[in-house]
Amino acid sequence: MGGTSVDVSVTLQQDNIPELDITVSINAGAAGHTATSASSTLGDDDVPGLELTLQTDTISEAGGFVATQATLRRTVGSNPIAFTASLSVNLTNTLFLPSGVSLAAGETQKTFDIGVVDNSLVDGFRNVTITAALQLASCGCSAPPASAGFVTAVLTVADNDGPALSVSTIPTTLAEGLPSAGMLRVQRNTPGDVALEVSLSSSNTNEATLPATAFIPMGASFVDVPITTVNDGVPDGSQQVYLNAAAAGFSPGIGWVLVTDINKPDLR
């Protein structure tokens, strides 16, 4: 008696169901008094956190149906429930990828292929945003951008319709520790009136290396370059390595090889 306020405990139910954050209104009223209300946001803590990583950040428009791969991961310590995340891109007619990726309960990650559409337009370098959004059965909707269940990655597509280089590898699967494990062919799509200097690089020099430069001779359309594989002494299984060829005024050529562990069978 004589008090003007009272504290009331509010119990929140833990349901382990991924949901959207909601606004909760609490109403209070008493005889002879004007009713009042207060609102609060109830943040859901059941949405699994997502990470999306690309094996390479740039691909050639000539990369085909397996131009690169991406991995969708459940963040460490987040909800281990099964889920499906939808996949989408911001630019139509650019990439081939699955419509969604599902992880079973306790599964930590899944890798999927990304292909590229080869058009006939001179459209330069295009940055494509790939989005993975958790599907919420509770609302039949996707996790919003501010949620832990919403993640993006940007993949650059290099045009091949102006002056461009293309690369191919023979074979595509290489054993570790060989000085000439395979061959990288670098090809130009312009007349060979003059020799063309090409800069070469590898995404993982602990697995495969290339000479720093090569020359496509005058009058020729391509040059073959040896690929050296490295015995890293680590039983790390097969490793995908991206090989890049670049030249001034040309769109780059990008390809990949699979370097297999020497203590495992190799495909020939």
For residues 181 and 206, state if they share a domain. Answer: yes
Question: Is residue 93 within 8 Å of residue 57, measured between CB atoms?
Answer: no
CATH number of 229's domain:
2.60.40.2030
Helical spans, DSSP H, in 126-255? none
Give residue 236's domain range: 165-260
> What pLDDT, on a 0 to 100 scale, did the predictor assign at position 41?
75
- Say whether the peptide bond before residue 179 is cis (omega within 30 degrees of 0): no
For residues 116 and 205, state if they share a domain. Answer: no
Q: What is the pLDDT of residues 134-150, one digit of tens each?
A: 999 888 999 999 899 99
Question: Is residue 199 within 8 Å of residue 249, measured between CB atoms?
Answer: no
* R_g of the chain, CA atoms, integer Å: 27
Residues of the chain with pLDDT under 50: none
CA 184 remoteness from chain centre:
25
The b-or-e profile of 99-138 (16+ CB within 10 A means b, else e) is: eebebeeeeeebeeebebeeeeeeeeeeebebbbbbbbee
Interatomic CA distance for residues 27 and 41, integer angstroms? 15
Residue 39 counted as domain residue: no
Closest CA to 113 of 256, 266, 223: 256
> What pLDDT, on a 0 to 100 scale, did the predictor assign at position 98?
98
Q: What is the pLDDT of residues 4-25, one digit of tens each?
A: 888 878 777 777 778 777 777 8
> What pLDDT, on a 0 to 100 scale, did the predictor assign at position 268?
57
How many domains is the chain partitioned into structurally? Answer: 2
Question: CA end-to-end span of the chain, whole Å?
Answer: 89
Q: What is the pLDDT of residues 226-253, one digit of tens each?
A: 999 999 888 888 999 999 999 999 999 9
Interatomic CA distance for residues 158 and 119, integer angstroms? 12
Question: Is residue 224 within 8 Å of residue 198, measured between CB atoms?
Answer: no
- Residue ending a domain, among 158, 190, 205, is 158
- Residue ending a domain, among 143, 158, 173, is 158
> What pLDDT, on a 0 to 100 scale, did the predictor assign at position 263?
60
